[in-house]
Amino acid sequence: MQIIDIVQKNAPISGEQIAESLRLSKPTIRSDLSLLVMLDYINAKPKVGYFPGGKASSDLRNGYLLQNSKVKDIQGMPIIIREITTIQDAVVTLFLQDVGTLFVCDDDGKLAGVASRKDFLKVTLGNPGAASMPVSMVMTRQPKVVTVFPEDTVLDAAQKMILHEVDSLPVVVPANEEESGARLEVVGRLTKTSILKLLLDKEIH
């Protein structure tokens, strides 16, 4: 990755100059350069030097695309249940809607927590009485829920997903209540699949 970065910033650049930037000898990085050329991350021209390959340019475009796209552009409909919903009903909803995470709202319709397949699996294994328990017993509660806003960039959202190891995020806006400014209203759902679709659609077109 350091070699790709150096080539992108300084192309055309010789192998000796790349090695010097890394404080290494050219023979030390010869195999790395060959591999990167073979994988199309960099290209080489005799007597000219190395310059970015097709994949490196594509990665740059993808980075700009994620940075310039907003969450609101690709968010989907949120799948919402109530705190009093039983775990059995929640699991049925999970399968019927074909999602991995459910967003849990309180009686006022504000975000109270999230519950994932992993949460349901942990509580139901070896616990025959779990089916009738309310979702509020197993969900991750606010304010520990990781959220995004409609105006956030898709890149920021993707970084949150990777950092917190989650597959989807609730898209929220502040509730219109002066006395409870910290409360959030769920307006959408952002998933890894929707981010991947954004990248694939761009490549196709």
CATH number for the domain harbouring residue 18: 1.10.10.10
Residue 66 maps to a domain: no
CATH number for the domain harbouring residue 75: 3.10.580.10
Closest CA to 141 of 75, 83, 56, 81: 83
Rg (CA), the chain: 24
Closest CA to 118 of 168, 158, 84: 168
Are 78 and 167 in a shared domain?
A: yes
Are 127 and 38 in a shared domain?
A: no
Rounded to whole angstroms, how far apart are CA atoms 198 and 154?
10
Are 87 and 46 in a shared domain?
A: no
- Helices 192-204 and 154-164, packing angle to 10 deg: 140
Are 88 and 149 in a shared domain?
A: yes
Residue 63 maps to a domain: no
Residue 60 maps to a domain: no
Range of the domain at 77: 71-204
pTM: 0.68
Are 44 and 75 in a shared domain?
A: no
Output the pLDDT for position 59.
60
Domain count within the chain: 2
Helical H segments across 108-191, by residue range: 117-124, 154-164
Are 7 and 85 in a shared domain?
A: no
Are 45 and 77 in a shared domain?
A: no
Are 86 and 163 in a shared domain?
A: yes
Output the pLDDT for position 179.
47
Are 80 and 29 in a shared domain?
A: no
Q: Which residues pair with 103 in a beta bridge?
A: 80, 114
Are 181 and 152 in a shared domain?
A: yes
Per-residue pLDDT of the chain in tens (205 residues, 90 and over written 9): 788 889 988 999 999 999 999 999 989 998 889 888 887 889 999 888 998 887 766 665 666 678 889 999 999 999 999 999 999 999 999 999 999 999 999 988 899 999 999 999 988 888 888 889 999 999 999 889 999 999 999 989 988 988 888 889 999 999 875 544 578 999 999 999 998 888 777 655 4
Are 99 and 177 in a shared domain?
A: yes
CB-based burial of residue 117 (10 Å sphere; 0-12 exposed, 13-18 middle, 19+ buried)? middle
Residue 64 maps to a domain: no
The CB density around residue 126, as the number of other CB atoms within 10 Å, is 6
Are 48 and 76 in a shared domain?
A: no
Output the pLDDT for position 18.
94
